[in-house]
Amino acid sequence: MALATKPRLTKEEDALRRAVFLAVSFAQAEISKVRVGAAVLAFNGMGERSIFTGCNVEISFSRVFHAENVALLNGHFCRFTKISSVAVTSDSKEKQKAAMCGCCRQDYMYLNPNCMIYIFNSNKSLRLKVKLIDSMAYPYAPKGKIV
C-alpha cells in the first residue's frame, strides 16, 4: 500500500535507503533513460548480514540488467543468499509507482516470499513498503535451487 504519511525508518531501513541512492548513481540507462538503483539486505550461512547494491545496466536492446537482479547477484556471489529486504528507487515517477517488475519479483520469490520491498521516491521519501508475497496475486514459489 502506498504511504500517506512519512513513516520513521528503522536504522536498517535508513541504511538501505542510503545504499539505494548510492546505487542509482551508477546506473547506465542510455536506452530506457530510466535510472534505477536497488539495495538488498541479506544474510550468509554464518548469520552475518550485509547490504548489496545494484543498478540497471543497459548494454544494448537485447542486453539489459535490472538493478534488483544485479543487487541480488552481487549478494549471491558473496554467498549472502538469505534475502531479507530490497529497496528500489529510480528517477522516473512512473517506475516509482511499481514494486519491481514481475521477473525480478519472481526471482526474489524463489528465495524469500516474505522479503520486504521498499520503494523510495527520488526525494528519498519512502513511497511503498510491502511484503513481497502480498504483492503477488497468484504466487508461484517452489523452493529455489540456489539457496
| Cell numbers at 41, concatenated | 539486505
Indicate the SS3 state at residue 136. Answer: coil
Q: Is there binding between residue 136 and Zn ion (CB under 5 A)?
A: no
Q: Is there binding between residue 66 and Zn ion (CB under 5 A)?
A: yes
Which spans in 47-133 are helix H? 67-77, 93-96, 102-111
Q: Is there binding between residue 101 and Zn ion (CB under 5 A)?
A: yes
Nearest Cα residue to 95 out of 64, 71, 69, 122: 122
Q: Is there binding between residue 98 and Zn ion (CB under 5 A)?
A: no
What distances in angstroms separate CA 126 from CA 4, 16, 49, one per listed residue? 10, 11, 22
Stretch that binds Zn ion, among 50-58, 66-74, 87-95, 138-146 (CB under 5 A): 66-74
Which CB, 66 or 129, lies closer to Zn ion? 66
Which CB, 44 or 106, lies closer to Zn ion? 106
Q: Is there binding between residue 130 and Zn ion (CB under 5 A)?
A: no
| Residues making contact with Zn ion (CB under 5 A) | 66, 101, 104
